[in-house]
């Protein structure tokens, strides 16, 4: 019984390997491009709504504060992404 389970795990691993390769070849680039598009839109949204955190007050603080609880989970990664220097060689894949 145990051996059978082990064999099955091995088979699953092989299948996920082949599936992973096909996914990597066909879709991974698409998925990351899509994520990047979403990232730029989120940057824009965050800058408009919480721009005062970066020194760009765009909308009155009242609305920023109302939106703050919803934006909190994204703030750390947003700042990290926004402040990271991007070189021309980083734009290679779009």
Partner 1 sequence: MSDVLSTPSLWVLGALIAYAFTYFVYSKWVDEKVWEVSADRTTPAHMYMDGVEFFPVSKSVLWGFQFKSIAALGPILGPFIAISYGWLPALIWIILGNMFIGWAHDYSSIMISVRNEGRSMGPLVYQYVGGDRPRTILLGYLLFYLLIISAVFIYLIALFWNVFPGTFLATVIVFIAALIVGQMLYKYQMNVYTVTIFAIIMIAIAVWVGAAVPWPPKDFLGPDYTMLTWSLILAVFLFFAALASMPTFITPMNFISAFPAIGGVIILIIGALLTPLTGISLGQPSIGKFDVLIGNIGPGPIFPVLFVSIACGAVSGWHSLVGSSTTAKQLDVEIDARPVGAGAMLTEGLLALSALAAYMIIPAGSDVFQKGKVAAFVTGAKELAAAYLGGEAMLPFWASFFALFLVIYAFTVQTLVTRYWRLVSGELFTGSLSFLGNKYIATIVGLLIPILFALSGSWLNLWIYFGGSNQLLAGLALFLTAIIVAKMKRPSGYVIGPAIFMLIVTISALGWETYLYAKKVMSYLQTGDVNVLFANPPLKNYPLAAFFMNVVFVVIGIILIGLGFLMAYYLFKSYSAARSEE
Which residues sit at the interface with partner 1, rule CB under 8 A? 16-30, 32-39, 77, 80-81, 84-85, 87-94
| d(C-alpha 29, C-alpha 38), whole Å | 14
Closer residue to partner 1, CB minimum distance, 60 or 87: 87
- Joined together, the tokens standing for residue 66 give 């109302």
Per the CB < 8 A criterion, the answer to whether 64 and 50 are in contact is: yes
What's the closest the beta carbon of residue 33 comes to partner 1, in angstroms? Answer: 4
What's the closest the beta carbon of residue 46 comes to partner 1, in angstroms? Answer: 13
Closer residue to partner 1, CB minimum distance, 2 or 83: 83
Q: Helices 29-50 and 61-83 sit at what angle, rounded to 10 degrees?
A: 140
Closer residue to partner 1, CB minimum distance, 60 or 94: 94
What's the closest the beta carbon of residue 17 comes to partner 1, in angstroms? Answer: 5
What does each C-alpha distance from 2 to 31, 63, 83, 86 come to in angstroms?
Answer: 38, 59, 51, 51
């Amino acid at each position: 019984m145990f051996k059978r389970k082990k064999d099955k795990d091995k088979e699953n691993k092989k299948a996920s390997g082949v599936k992973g390769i096909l996914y990597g070849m066909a879709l991974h680039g698409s998925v990351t491009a899509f994520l990047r598009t979403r990232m730029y839109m989120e940057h824009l949204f965050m800058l408009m709504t919480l721009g005062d955190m970066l020194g760009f007050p765009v909308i009155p603080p009242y609305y920023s504060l109302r939106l703050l609880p919803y934006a909190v989970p994204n703030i750390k990664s947003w700042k990290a992404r926004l402040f990271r220097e991007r070189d021309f060689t980083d734009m290679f894949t779009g």
